[in-house]
Structure 1
């Protein structure tokens, strides 16, 4: 069974609202210089759709969904940031509010990705790039922006570091592809915000809005997809029995392992009256 393909088939329908609302945003292409509550809603809808995607994929207060809850929180704060940035042309304070909302979102993403494995060499290399990015923006920064942008850039690259650190390309982990989604999402976030920063503080970039929003929505999609490595009922159809195996079953017909239990988010001690068996994977 090709599990990534199975999961994609499961999550695909849940992503339809995201793609529809993204298309609506580009089709309407409302004037950014004339912000309204309607234009704010249209801009926020794709990210709000990803919030629904995370909720539909599974949510609870248990440790199993700690990662999903943090990603959901990051998406919610991102949507708030989107709404504030709509009004930045009216009053510059809204840009700062938006930065704060996105900074909180990045912190939640960083905590979600975790700090194990640490991989300090990767972090050191990315920190050097972050310093270079700040150096490019610094000549155009004045007042409070000198500090806020510096902190924000640090959070951006910290997020990418943690996304890259948890990615093990040569691992046999079936869920490496979801970690790759998170890593690519973090990278696209940096590209999007770099374009935004250069356009706002240094020089105008042609087609900046289209470039910024396309990379931004793709970034949020990648990060949201990373919750797919959690247990999904639609992808656990290979579980056939939990309890004592059929006495007439052949060893070739069933396959039981501790790894399978861990993959499904279950623990062996939960099955005190028997063992969990699944169809042999061909």
Structure 2
């Protein structure tokens, strides 16, 4: 199976779950939710990459934990924990090579955004006496923002775009779950989520090409 064909299947099954979830029988909903992620993991595994073995391995591990998160999100804290571990693997992947750090203005914007979200959502949860949940959500927000900022170290626009889409997806999910109902939340959350994961997988060959150029330049 070529990578292009595999990518086509990912897009087809992803769009089917996003836009036709209402006609999927309940016992099969989770199957169709996980199918695009399984194919994305396969895409990452089959991708050939030189000079970045640690990066590829860490991205695959991140995708696997995110897939676990997809399934266990029905038990929110457990799912959140799986996604948090996935993001830690993404962070480790982005830090696997010394690269350009994120521009200071990006870091400042992410910090302001993260602090605003933590105060907004965290204070609401604390008022409802959900202290542990408030702490968990705040910790997760910190980790995903670190993931976003460290993605710039790859020098890959694909990885950066994937990280930012992930932040958007999780932000909408949190707002919809804890603050107020967001119109078309399922479509927004899953479209940005699948797109983020696809880009993370596609960052493997992009990062490989960047590293190969760096190595050739050093020699």
Name the TM tier (shorter chain). 0.7 to 0.9
Q: What is the deviation of 1:268?
A: 10
Matches within 5 A, 1:154-233: 154-167=142-155, 179-229=156-206
The change in CA–CA distance for 1:190 and 1:14 in structure 2 (over 3 A counts) is: same
Matches within 5 A, 1:1-282: 11-26=3-18, 28-30=20-22, 36=27, 38-58=28-48, 64-85=52-73, 88=74, 94-114=75-95, 116-119=99-102, 121=104, 122-141=106-125, 142-167=130-155, 179-229=156-206, 262-263=212-213
The change in CA–CA distance for 1:163 and 1:201 in structure 2 (over 3 A counts) is: same
* Structure 1 residues 176-219: Cα deviation after superposition (integer angstroms, max 9, x where no partner): xxx11111111111111111111111111111111111111111
Q: What is the deviation of 1:164?
A: 2.8
- Normalising by structure 1, we get a TM-score of 0.66
Q: Distance in 1 between matches of 2:108 and 2:214?
A: 35
Q: What is the deviation of 1:82?
A: 0.6
Count of aligned residue pairs for this structure pair:
211
**Which is richer in helix?**
2
Q: Distance in 2 between matches of 1:39 and 1:98?
A: 17
**Which is richer in strand?**
1
Indicate the RMSD between aligned Cα atoms, in angstroms: 3.0
Q: Distance in 1 between matches of 2:214 and 2:146?
A: 30
Does the 8 A contact of 2:162 with 2:197 survive in 1?
yes
Higher Cα radius of gyration: 1
Q: Which runs of 5 or more structure 2 residues have no equivalent in the other structure?
A: none
The change in CA–CA distance for 1:83 and 1:30 in structure 2 (over 3 A counts) is: farther
Which is bigger in relative contact order (C-alpha 8 A, separation at least 6)?
A: 2
- Normalising by structure 2, we get a TM-score of 0.83
The change in CA–CA distance for 1:165 and 1:188 in structure 2 (over 3 A counts) is: same
Q: What is the deviation of 1:14?
A: 3.4
